[in-house]
């Protein structure tokens, strides 16, 4: 722990497995085999003498949120039954599906922790400026930030988070089905009539008989998924009538993570400075590279990127247009908005799981005492909707970590966070080990990316 009571967590290696928990919706008992592999891995990391003192938390996100609720609960019941007999500390209520809003808060926590915001906050009477986070996974999209001078009526819709002696009023919203892979399927449904008549501009010409490869036309069609005509019943909205405080250059800086970063990485533009007249390098880069990519014939693209799977390669035209449109048209970022795409901060990956771990540790240590570090979990101001979507693959990430100075070992199994998370991301289940060699206290975490 540092002087602010914050744990020190540093990453190390990882191991990939597949599939994830949400793929067992039709066969819940098979989920035990998946979890057993994660438990076996953790047992190799956590000394046997610490098993009984190492709590295991299972937190599922968009993967399990996107299958029928009864199926998700049956999967979790199998997970609970298995973990109870592993020798680790576990309570059945620790295995649950968390809201998309909590998922967003966890990502915000992780980013600002790595930026050192909370480490310096207790030394100042005024809460330091934080960085907002917009995260696009495979199934859902999260936007989380501290609005600029919210009105009293707006503050009622925000979530209070107390860290290192300061209160932060967070706006967070999770858009289920607006993650990259889910949105690509939605795009086909929403625009089916236009595509059948005029062709599909979001795939390079020659990929399919209906592909026309036009970035501008693709941008126009993807905007149809973000309804700006729905009446806003609040002071301001993003799209589909969803409440969102105004974004301006006064709101502060943002980082765009997950698929925003991976798409730009594919285009080798994740370090691209962008035009000198804009702070919003993410949108500028997506548009520049999207125009170039979408306009190339499929034969040229397939030859140029021969090592990339064909269906994955074809989707990058849609990805560039959709991500740029979502930031600009959907969420309201402008060319003045300070937005950067990142994967790591000071060499450490940004994972919602890290924020989840931090929140659990702080709540556990303080008991939620006023004035101390505490994080409100499962915020009441959630607009999340449960719905069904066909998911091809999900993936889990198991993370094991040591926390310097901590007296308690924690192991989280969930979806899309540093605990054990379950979600859709590239069709792989990964096991990630995080370690701080200065301590013998282990913080194992199992989680999936969505």
- Rounded CA-CA distance 238/244 in Å is 6
What mean pLDDT do residues 262-278 have?
69
All domains in the chain, ordered by first residue: 11-98+388-447 (3.30.420), 102-345 (3.30.420.150)
pTM of the entire structure? 0.78
- Rounded CA-CA distance 57/81 in Å is 13
pLDDT of amino acid 238: 96
pLDDT of amino acid 286: 96
Contacts 24+ apart (CB under 8 A), 35-39: 35/78, 35/79, 35/82, 35/83, 35/413, 36/82, 38/396, 38/398, 38/413, 38/420, 38/431, 38/446, 39/82, 39/83, 39/86, 39/88
Q: What's the distance, Cα to Cα, between the start and end of the chain in Å?
A: 30
Q: Check: CB of residue 134 under 8 Å from CB of residue 174.
A: no
pLDDT for 405 beyond 70: no
Per-residue pLDDT tens for 312-355?
999 999 999 999 999 999 999 998 899 999 998 888 888 787 88
H helix or E strand, kind and range, residue 24 = none
Rounded to the nearest integer, the mean pLDDT of the chain is 77
Query: Closest Cα partner for 265 from 287, 284, 289?
Result: 289
Per-residue pLDDT tens for 339-397?
999 998 888 888 787 888 787 777 765 554 444 444 544 444 433 333 322 223 233 33
pLDDT of amino acid 271: 59
What mean pLDDT do residues 61-84 have?
88
pLDDT of amino acid 66: 79
Tokens of 186: 């939605």
What mean pLDDT do residues 213-226 have?
96
Per-residue pLDDT tens for 119-131?
765 566 778 889 9
Strands (E), 311-373: 339-341, 344-345, 348-349
pLDDT for 173 beyond 60: yes
pLDDT of amino acid 33: 84
pLDDT of amino acid 108: 94
pLDDT of amino acid 351: 79
**Rg of the chain (C-alpha set):** 22
Q: Check: CB of residue 106 under 8 Å from CB of residue 121.
A: no
pLDDT of amino acid 170: 93
pLDDT for 401 beyond 60: no
Indicate the Cα dihedral angle 92, 424, 143, 120, nearest 10°: 60
Confidence class for position 406, pLDDT limits 50, 70, 90: very low
- Rounded CA-CA distance 190/199 in Å is 14
Query: Closest Cα partner for 66 from 381, 319, 385?
Result: 385
- Rounded CA-CA distance 64/43 in Å is 25
The answer to which of 155-159, 193-197, 224-228, 256-260 has the lowest mean pLDDT is 155-159
Q: Check: CB of residue 404 under 8 Å from CB of residue 7.
A: yes
What mean pLDDT do residues 267-276 have?
60
DSSP single-letter state for residue 1? -
Confidence class for position 208, pLDDT limits 50, 70, 90: very high
What mean pLDDT do residues 2-26 have?
64
The answer to which of 48-57, 161-170, 379-388 has the lowest mean pLDDT is 379-388
CA 273 to chain CA mean position, Å: 24
Q: Check: CB of residue 103 under 8 Å from CB of residue 133.
A: no
DSSP secondary structure letters along 177-227: T-SHHHHHHHHHHHTHHHHHHH-BTTS-TTSSTTB---HHHHHHHHGGGS-
Confidence class for position 311, pLDDT limits 50, 70, 90: very high
| Mode of pairing for the β-strands spanning 159-163 and 166-176 | antiparallel
pLDDT of amino acid 60: 80
pLDDT for 275 beyond 70: no
Tokens of 346: 């000071």
Q: Show Cβ contacts of residue 315 under 8 Å, excluding neighbours closer than 6 positions.
A: 184
Q: Check: CB of residue 63 under 8 Å from CB of residue 415.
A: yes
Residue labelled with tokens 């799981």: 353
């Amino acid at each position: 722990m540092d002087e602010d009571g914050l744990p020190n967590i540093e990453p190390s290696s990882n191991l990939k497995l597949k599939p994830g928990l949400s793929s067992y919706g039709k066969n819940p008992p098979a989920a035990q085999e998946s979890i057993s592999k994660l438990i076996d891995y953790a047992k190799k990391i956590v000394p046997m003498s610490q098993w009984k003192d190492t709590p295991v938390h299972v937190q599922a996100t968009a993967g399990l949120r996107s299958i029928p609720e009864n199926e998700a609960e049956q999967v979790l019941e199998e997970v609970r039954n298995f973990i109870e007999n592993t020798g680790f500390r576990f309570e059945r209520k620790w295995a649950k599906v968390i809201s998309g809003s909590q998922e967003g808060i966890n990502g915000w926590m992780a980013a600002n922790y790595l930026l050192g915001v909370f480490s310096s906050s207790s030394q100042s009477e005024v809460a330091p400026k934080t960085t907002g986070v917009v995260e696009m996974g495979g199934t859902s999209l999260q936007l989380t930030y501290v609005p600029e001078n919210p009105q009293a009526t707006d503050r009622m819709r925000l979530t209070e988070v107390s860290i290192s002696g300061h209160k932060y009023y967070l706006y967070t919203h999770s858009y289920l089905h607006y993650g990259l892979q889910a949105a690509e399927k939605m795009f086909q449904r929403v625009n089916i009539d236009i595509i059948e008549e005029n062709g599909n501009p979001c795939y390079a010409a020659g990929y399919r008989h209906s592909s026309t490869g036009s970035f501008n036309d693709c941008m126009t069609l993807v905007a149809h998924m973000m309804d700006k005509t729905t009446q806003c019943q609040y002071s301001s909205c993003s799209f589909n009538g969803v409440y969102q405080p105004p974004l301006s250059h006064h709101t502060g800086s943002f980082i765009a993570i997950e698929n925003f970063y991976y798409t730009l990485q594919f285009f080798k533009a994740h370090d691209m400075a962008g035009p000198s007249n804009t702070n919003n390098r993410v949108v500028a880069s997506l548009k520049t590279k999207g125009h170039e990519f979408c306009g190339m014939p499929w034969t040229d693209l397939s030859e140029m990127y021969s090592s990339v799977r064909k269906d994955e390669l074809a989707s990058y035209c849609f990805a560039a247009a959709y991500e740029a449109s979502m930031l600009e048209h959907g969420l309201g970022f402008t060319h003045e908005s300070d937005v950067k795409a990142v994967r790591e901060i000071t060499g450490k990956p940004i994972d919602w799981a890290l924020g989840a771990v931090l929140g659990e540790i702080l709540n556990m240590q303080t008991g939620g005492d006023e004035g101390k570090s505490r994080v409100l979990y499962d915020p009441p101001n959630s607009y999340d909707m449960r719905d069904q979507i066909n998911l091809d693959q999900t993936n889990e990430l198991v993370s094991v970590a040591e926390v310097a100075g901590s007296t308690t070992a924690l192991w989280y199994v969930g979806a899309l966070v540093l605990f054990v998370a379950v979600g859709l991301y590239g069709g792989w289940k990964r096991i990630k080990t995080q370690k701080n060699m200065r301590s013998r206290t282990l913080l194992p975490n199992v989680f999936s990316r969505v």
